[in-house]
Structure 1
């Protein structure tokens, strides 16, 4: 059994990070499906492939909310958090080999962090851009991305206004975040308050409030 693990949503200021593991006996069926790195596929193509992947593979998905990320960052790095969840997924899937998209600049260090959370002892292949190399990691990237996109749309419906993709490079996201904080004096739900963009806007809001009393 081999498995591939990848994440979607490590960097955005709004929304969860989703980590997915996909396990198969052989990656031949995944190759036949035409899986690719999720970033190289259109949203429509990802959504077409996701249920097909689930039919030919065992899939584990873990969602880490914005609040959980903020809490974890008080005592660990994002790399350590990812490695911890990767280890949890490997334990559940129990593969002989695990291919992972390395989050750390040092691929071997990321493997070491994963092994710290493991009881089982599979062979771990930790590489940068594994989602562009191994079909089983490509499949994991697709399922993770579809799950995160769906969750962002749910958050948008909950809040009742467009929030964009959740990334700080998205003008819609940053306009929404800024407007919400200016109007309510706090971050909107599902915001990573420990992220610099959110902290900076909150700080500017506080300074403007203080100026009114001078």
Structure 2
């Protein structure tokens, strides 16, 4: 995926309100403020539910989904949630009404996550979950590699596979896995079936609206991303604002999507001509690239002298300084090993 394709992930204007963080988003244990402010990616796993640890034969269903694939601001978060098969639809869909996080209000998403993280609740007792927070800095740097570009699909797939492997490593008896697709469902499913051959795997479009465990995973991902956006935004809040009611990310840069006018306005008003923005911005996105080209400082790097091009490391050891013996010079020039004649082989 190139810079231009990234911005094709924009959302319709009527969906922006649903994508914006809640006014008082729940701060889940999956929020590592220090890592987020440092622009670092990290993984969080909840405690394994007692109902699963007490009986290792308990068969579980696991769902995976993401939040924040298309925004130019903030991390992309992958999440999974597992629950005993016997509780899958009754607990998640019927009792707590989990659904695709994009059709739930920000406040309701936040309340579901709070219940999931509160000891003593039925969700806490039966569900385990995990998140992989992929920072904007790491996403951008991987996509802008001069060689061997690590595109967004590959990053997302690796995050999914690593999260699932972590759950198996903990001894969870996962019998069924449901995943919202990345690209072609059939191709993605075949790859996962090769990696996890003993598990029934279903990869489908709109899986977050079809399978409750995927819906619950989407809520974990979205609430974690919302809280991360809030942490990132507060670094820009002025001292005067901090003394009053703290301004939320929804009021400042909104959902973080390029199609959100609050986001593009914020980017234009806060661009540094030399450094652009902080680690909350995906510099590989076309939106950020275009703004930097229009408002940034142009830097012309000097061309190296011709006589310095093509030099090898050992060339720096070829001349003997005054007073150095021939033996000492030879030791330096053979530092990396001596050539071996073909006859040896």
Same structural fold, with TM-score higher than 0.5 when normalized by the shorter chain:
yes
Unaligned runs of at least 5 residues, structure 1: none
Q: Write out the 4+ residue segments of structure 1 that deviate beyond 3 Å after TM superposition.
A: 112-116, 118-121
Asked if 1:202 is matched to 2:264, the reply is no
- Residue 96 of structure 1 aligns to a residue whose secondary structure is strand
Asked if 1:103 is matched to 2:182, the reply is yes
Q: TM-score, normalised by structure 2?
A: 0.56
Aligned to 1:38: 101
Q: Aligned partners of 2:276, 2:190: CA distance in 1, in Å?
A: 36
Higher helix share: 1
Root mean square deviation of aligned Cα = 2.0
Q: Per-residue displacement from partner, 1:2-36 (whole Å, max 9, x unpaired)?
A: 10000000010010001100001121211221111
Q: 2:215 aligns with which of 119, 135, 138?
A: 138
Asked if 1:66 is matched to 2:136, the reply is yes
Q: Aligned partners of 1:193, 1:115: CA distance in 2, in Å?
A: 34
Highest RCO, 1 vs 2 (Cα 8 Å, sep ≥ 6): 1
Asked if 1:88 is matched to 2:162, the reply is yes
CA apart distance, 1:119: 6.2
Which of these two proteins has the greater Rg computed from alpha carbons?
2
- Residue 70 of structure 2 aligns to a residue whose secondary structure is coil
Unaligned runs of at least 5 residues, structure 2: 1-59, 118-123, 169-173, 239-251, 300-345
Q: TM-score, normalised by structure 1?
A: 0.89
CA apart distance, 1:169: 1.0
Aligned length: 206
CA apart distance, 1:113: 4.5
Q: Residue 179 of structure 2 contacts residue 207 of structure 2 at CA under 8 Å; is this kept in 1?
A: yes
- Residue 70 of structure 1 aligns to a residue whose secondary structure is helix
Q: Residue 273 of structure 2 contacts residue 296 of structure 2 at CA under 8 Å; is this kept in 1?
A: no
Matches within 5 A, 1:1-214: 1-26=60-85, 27=88, 28-31=90-93, 32-54=95-117, 55=124, 56-73=126-143, 74=145, 75-94=149-168, 95-104=174-183, 106-114=184-192, 118=195, 121-160=198-237, 162-181=252-271, 183-189=272-278, 190-206=280-296
